[in-house]
Amino acid sequence: MPGGTRMADEGTDYDLIVIGGNAGGLSVAISSLRSGLARVRVVEPGSAVAFPELVPENKIEVGYGEQLVSIDTNDDHLVVVTSQRTYRARGCLIAQRHRDPAWSPPLDVTLTDHVSVDVLPDWLNDRDILVVGYTNKAAELVAEAAAAGAGVVMAAGGMDPGQLAPAADAVLRRLERERRVTVLFRAVPDEIGADGEFPIAFFSDRRTPDLEFDHIVFASERIRPAVGELGVSDSAIASNKVWFLGKPEEGHDLPTGHAWEIGNLLAEACFPELEVVAPPSVVQRRARHESVINELREESYNATITAFEQRHSDLWILRVRPDHGDTSHIPGQYASLGLGYWEDRVDSFVDPEIDEKWSKLIRRSYSISHPMFEPSGYLAPPDTEELEFYIVLVQSDENHIAALTPRLGKLQVGDRIYLGPKVAGRYTLSSVQSPDTAVMFFATGTGEAPHNSMATELLRKGHTGPIVSTVTVRNWQDLGYLDLHRHLEERFPNYHYLPMPTREPDVPKRYLQDLIRDGDLERVLGGSLDPETTHAFLCGNPAMIGLPEEEDGTEVWPETTGVIELLVERGFTIDRRNQPGNIHFEEYW
C-alpha cells in the first residue's frame, strides 16, 4: 500500500472516527464522549448499529451506509475517506469484524431454515430464539432478537462477562434485569435435534432441561479484516493514531486492544489532554452479572449456613447443614469447606491470577468443632444434621493473600457454601481406652475446635480421669468458647480449662511449653506426667507442636522447642500410622 501519500487538507474535523457500529465500536464512542471528546463519529457501513437504543441515549453521531475507502496522514492529522465523506481526525478506531473462516459451530449440526450462524430469521416477534455463544457477537444477536419481540435464551457456556465490550455488558445486564432475556452462563447444548420442523437443544447438565425453539442461531468467533483490505496507508499505521479492535496477533505489530480496554489505550495514545480513568477490573465487571454468580453458586454449593456468630470481627463460629446426607463424624475429625473465587472479600486484596481462577472453587479443611451443650443444658452428642466450625480470619499481606477466610467473613445465615462429601481424619480418641486415663489437650487459637468435641465426648461418656484443655491466644476476646469451658469446669470436677492470652497487659506472657517446664500441668493433674496413663493431643501452629523431621534415619528437632520435644523427654512417644504412641497431633498451616 502507499506510504505517506499527502492528501488535500480538506474534510470535516473530528476528534475520533470509529469504523464499525458493533459492540466494541459503540463502547469506545460512548467512553470517548464521556471522557470529554467533543466530536466523535461512528461510521457504519450497514443500515443499523448493534444496539440502536444507545445512540440517542448517548448522543452518538452515526453515519449509516458509509464504506471505508482509505485512511492516510496529513500533517499531524488522519484523513479518513468513506464512500460518502472525507474526515480529518486526530484518531481512528477500526472496529469492523467479520466471521473467522476457521470457525465452525461447537457441535456437529446441520444448518437449516431453523438453524443458522450469525443470521436471525426475518420474523422474530413472539418467536422462541436460542442464541448459542459467549462473544460480543452473541450479545448483539440477543439484543436484536429481544428488540424485535422474540423470547430469547442465550446459551453462553464459557462466557466471561468481564471480557465483554462495555456496551454489550450493559445491554445484556439491562435485558436480564427487564426479564427479556434468559442467560445460561454455564450451559451450552451438546446436541441439536428436531421434533418435526423445529429444532430441540439437548443439554447434558442436570440444571438445564431440553428445550424446543423456533430458531437456533450460533454466534461465530470474529476477527478483524486484513489491513490490506482496509486502505490504511503505512504512514497512518506508523502514526499510532489508527487502532484496531481485537486481540494482538502474532506477526502483526499493530496498535490493538480488546473491546473492554481499547478505549483507554487509544485515549492515551491520541488524546493526552484527557484524564483517563482506569476501567473497572475484570473481577468487578464479572460481579455485575448476578445471574452468572447465581449459576456458579447453584452449580458448586451443596450446603447452607444455619448459624454465623461473630465472637469479634475476625473470629467466627458457624454451622453448616448439607442439602443431602447426614454429618456423622467422630470427635476430632475434619471436613472441607469451599467458596468460589467469584465471592466478595472482606478486605481489598486481589487474589493472584484471579482472572484464571475466578470461576473455580477454593477448598480448605477445617476441624469440626462442637457446641458442647444442647439447649436443654445436657451435653451435646456429635451432630448428625449440621457441622460446627471455628474459624479465624487469616490476615493477608503482600507476601501472602489468603483466599478462603476473607470470603467466609462475608457470609450470613442462609448463605450457601460448599461442604465436602467426606468427613475424615485419624486425630480421634480411639487410643483412649480406659476411663481413668489422663487426657491433655494443647491448642493454639482455633486449633481447639476438635478439642471442644473430644472433651465433650469424654465427659458425656463418663470419663473419670483428669482432662486438661490448654490453649494460647493473643487476647481474651480470642477465646470463642470461654464461657462454655467455664461451664464444663463447674459441672465436672475432673475437667480443667487453661487459657493463656499472650498480649494482655495484666497476664504474664507464657506459652504452652511453659506449662510443662514449670510443672503447672502436674499440679492440675494431681500427679506426674506419666506416659503409661496419659495421652496428649496437640492441634494448631506447627511451631507449638514441634514435630521432628527425619534425616538419614535420625530425628532432627526444630530450632524452637515445641511441646512434642518436651513430652518425648518425659518418655512420651509420637503416634504414627504404623507406630502407635501417646502424642497425637494435627497441624494447621
Q: Tell whether 67 is covered by a domain.
A: yes
The pLDDT assigned to 8 comes to 38
Q: Tell whether 240 is covered by a domain.
A: yes
**Cβ distance 586 to 425 under 8 Å?**
yes
Question: Where is 215: in which H helix or E strand?
Answer: strand 215-218
Between the alpha carbon of residue 496 and those of residues 439, 486, 490, 538, 548, the distances in Å are 11, 8, 9, 16, 29
Q: 538: Cβ–Cβ under 8 A, 6 or more apart, which residues?
A: 442, 443, 544, 545, 563, 564, 583, 584, 585, 586
The pLDDT assigned to 246 comes to 87
The DSSP letter of residue 258 is -
Same structural domain, 209 and 266: no
The pLDDT assigned to 578 comes to 85
Q: Cell 473492554 appears where?
A: 260
Could you write out the three-class secondary structure of 505-563? Answer: CCCCCCCHHHHHHCCHHHHHHCCCCCCCCEEEEEEECHHHHCCCEEECCEEECCCCCCH
Cell numbers placing 43:
461510521
Same structural domain, 79 and 141: no
Same structural domain, 583 and 449: yes
CA atoms within 13 A on the CB side of 432: 31
Q: How far is Cα 448 from Cα 522, in angstroms, rounded to an integer?
A: 21
Q: How far is Cα 139 from Cα 116, in angstroms, rounded to an integer?
A: 16
The DSSP letter of residue 344 is -
**Cβ distance 382 to 310 under 8 Å?**
no
Residue from 399, 472, 387, 469 nearest 425 by CA: 387
Summarize pLDDT for 513-565 with one digit per residue, the tens: 999 999 999 999 988 899 999 999 999 999 999 999 988 878 899 999 999 99
The pLDDT assigned to 197 comes to 83
Same structural domain, 267 and 328: no
The pLDDT assigned to 7 comes to 40
Same structural domain, 124 and 201: yes
Cell numbers placing 109:
449440526
* DSSP-assigned letters across all residues of 38-79: S-EEEEESSS--S-TTHHHHHT-EEEETPPEEEEEEETTEEE
Residue 94 pairs in a beta bridge with 19, 244
Q: How far is Cα 398 from Cα 197, in angstroms, rounded to an integer?
A: 60
The pLDDT assigned to 194 comes to 81
Cell numbers placing 512:
504452652
Strand, helix or coil at 182?
strand
- The sheet with strand 151-155 has its strands ordered as 115-117, 215-218, 128-132, 151-155, 181-184
**Cβ distance 423 to 326 under 8 Å?**
no
User: What is the CA angle 36-38-44, rounded to 5?
Assistant: 110
Q: Tell whether 154 is covered by a domain.
A: yes
Same structural domain, 456 and 569: yes
**Cβ distance 7 to 72 under 8 Å?**
yes
b/e sequence 145-181, b meaning 16+ C-beta within 10 Å: bbbbebbbbbbbbebbbbbbbbbbbbbbbebbeeebb
Question: Where is 316: in which H helix or E strand?
Answer: strand 315-322
CA atoms within 13 A on the CB side of 51: 29
Q: How far is Cα 119 from Cα 134, in angstroms, rounded to an integer?
A: 16
Residue from 224, 221, 256 nearest 240 by CA: 256
Same structural domain, 394 and 247: no
Between helices 262-270 and 23-35, what is the axis angle to 10°? 50
Q: How far is Cα 236 from Cα 91, in angstroms, rounded to an integer?
A: 10
Could you write out the three-class secondary structure of 382-440? Answer: CCCCCEEEEEECCCCCCCCCCCCHHHHCCCCCCCEEEECCCCECCCCCCCCCCCCCEEE
* DSSP-assigned letters across all residues of 179-197: TSEEEETT---SEEEEETT
The pLDDT assigned to 9 comes to 45
Summarize pLDDT for 472-516 with one digit per residue, the tens: 999 999 999 999 999 999 999 999 999 999 999 999 999 999 999
CA atoms within 13 A on the CB side of 214: 14
Strand, helix or coil at 174?
helix
Question: Where is 81: in which H helix or E strand?
Answer: strand 77-82
Q: 123: Cβ–Cβ under 8 A, 6 or more apart, which residues?
A: none
Cell numbers placing 296:
456458579
The pLDDT assigned to 289 comes to 83
Q: How far is Cα 367 from Cα 370, in angstroms, rounded to an integer?
A: 10
Q: Tell whether 235 is covered by a domain.
A: yes
- Residue 176, phi then psi, degrees to nearest 5: -65, -45
State which residues form the domain around 404: 301-419
How many other CB atoms are there within 10 angstroms of residue 76's CB atom?
8
- CATH of residue 407's domain is 2.40.30.10
Cell numbers placing 189:
447444548
Q: Cell 496428649 appears where?
A: 536
Q: Tell whether 566 is covered by a domain.
A: yes
Helix, strand, coil percentages for the chain (3-state, nearest 5): 25, 30, 45
Same structural domain, 351 and 472: no
How many other CB atoms are there within 10 angstroms of residue 236's CB atom?
26
The pLDDT assigned to 57 comes to 95
Cell numbers placing 569:
523427654
Same structural domain, 446 and 563: yes
Q: Tell whether 257 is covered by a domain.
A: yes
- CATH of residue 550's domain is 3.40.50.80
Q: Considering 176, 197, 221, which residue would you say is the last residue of a domain? A: 221
Same structural domain, 466 and 572: yes
Strand, helix or coil at 149?
coil
- CATH of residue 50's domain is 3.50.50.60
**CA distance between the termini of the chain:** 63
Q: Tell whether 294 is covered by a domain.
A: no
Per-residue pLDDT of the chain (589 residues; tens, 9 = 90+): 333 333 434 578 999 999 999 999 999 999 999 999 999 999 999 999 999 999 999 999 999 999 999 999 998 899 999 999 999 999 999 999 999 999 999 888 889 999 999 999 999 999 999 999 999 999 999 999 999 999 999 999 878 888 899 999 999 999 999 999 999 988 899 999 887 789 999 998 877 888 999 999 999 999 988 888 899 999 999 999 999 998 776 656 789 998 888 999 999 999 999 887 777 877 788 888 888 898 899 989 999 999 999 999 999 999 999 999 889 999 999 999 999 999 999 999 999 998 888 889 999 999 999 999 999 999 999 999 999 999 999 999 999 999 999 999 999 999 999 999 989 999 999 999 999 999 999 999 999 999 999 999 999 999 999 999 999 999 999 999 999 999 999 999 999 999 999 999 999 999 999 999 999 999 999 888 999 999 999 999 999 999 999 888 788 999 999 999 999 999 999 999 888 999 999 976 5
Same structural domain, 450 and 574: yes
How many other CB atoms are there within 10 angstroms of residue 509's CB atom?
11
Q: Tell whether 424 is covered by a domain.
A: no
Q: In total, how many domains does the chain have?
A: 4
Q: Considering 183, 205, 221, which residue would you say is the last residue of a domain? A: 221
The pLDDT assigned to 577 comes to 85
Same structural domain, 371 and 414: yes
Q: Considering 203, 221, 239, which residue would you say is the last residue of a domain? A: 221
The DSSP letter of residue 161 is G
